[in-house]
Amino acid sequence: QKEVEQNSGPLSVPEGAIASLNCTYSDRGSQSFFWYRQYSGKSPELIMSIYSNGDKEDGRFTAQLNKASQYVSLLIRDSQPSDSATYLCAVTRSGYQKVTFGIGTKLQVIP
Partner 1 sequence: ETGVTQTPRHLVMGMTNKKSLKCEQHLGHNAMYWYKQSAKKPLELMFVYSLEERVENNSVPSRFSPECPNSSHLFLHLHTLQPEDSALYLCASSHPNPGQGNEQFFGPGTRLTVL
The footprint of partner 1 (CB under 8 A) covers 4, 8, 32, 34, 42-46, 49, 51, 88, 90, 92, 94-104
Rounded least distance, CB 63 to partner 1, Å? 12
Contact 70, 24 (CB under 8 A): yes
Which is nearer to partner 1, 4 or 109 (by Cβ)? 4
Rounded least distance, CB 33 to partner 1, Å? 8
Helix (H, G, I), strand (E, B) or coil at 9: coil
Contact 20, 27 (CB under 8 A): no
Rounded least distance, CB 87 to partner 1, Å? 13
Which is nearer to partner 1, 76 or 88 (by Cβ)? 88
95-98: Cβ within 8 A, 24+ apart: none
Q: From CA 37, how far away is CA 29, in angstroms rounded?
A: 24
